[in-house]
């Protein structure tokens, strides 16, 4: 297996973990808590990736009140990883 595929696999897993952590933090971490700085750092890293999906899903998000952009980001990243895996393999 190519070293590039291994790196892409780790990058996908890292993105998934960091995104899950960001979503959980958004539910429980509040300003002034000990994890607030970590949450703000994750927001700075992930918001540029999430904002196109939020724009795409804006009507749905406002009508039902649930933000599906993290889920869509993971699906898209997984699809890109699988396509690259098939091309590079």
Q: What is the residue-wise DSSP string for 19-30?
A: HHHHHHHHHH--
Output the six-digit token pair for 72.
């869509």
Is the pLDDT at 11 greater than 70? The verdict is yes
Kindly report, residue by residue over 21-54, the tens digit of the pLDDT.
999 999 999 999 999 999 999 999 999 999 999 8
Alpha carbon 69 to chain centroid, angstroms: 8
SS3 call for 68 = coil
- Rounded CA separation 73/33 (Å): 27
Give the pTM. Answer: 0.85
- Rounded CA separation 22/31 (Å): 14
> What residue ranges do the domains of the chain occupy?
3-88
């Amino acid at each position: 297996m190519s070293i590039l595929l291994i790196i892409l696999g780790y990058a996908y897993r890292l993105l998934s973990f960091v995104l899950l952590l960001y979503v959980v933090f958004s539910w429980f971490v509040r300003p002034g808590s000990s994890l607030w700085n970590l949450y703000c750092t994750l927001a700075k890293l992930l918001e540029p990736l999430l904002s196109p999906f939020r724009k795409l899903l804006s009507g749905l998000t406002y009508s039902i009140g649930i933000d599906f952009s993290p889920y869509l980001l993971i699906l898209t990243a997984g699809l890109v990883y699988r396509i690259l895996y098939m091309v590079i393999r």
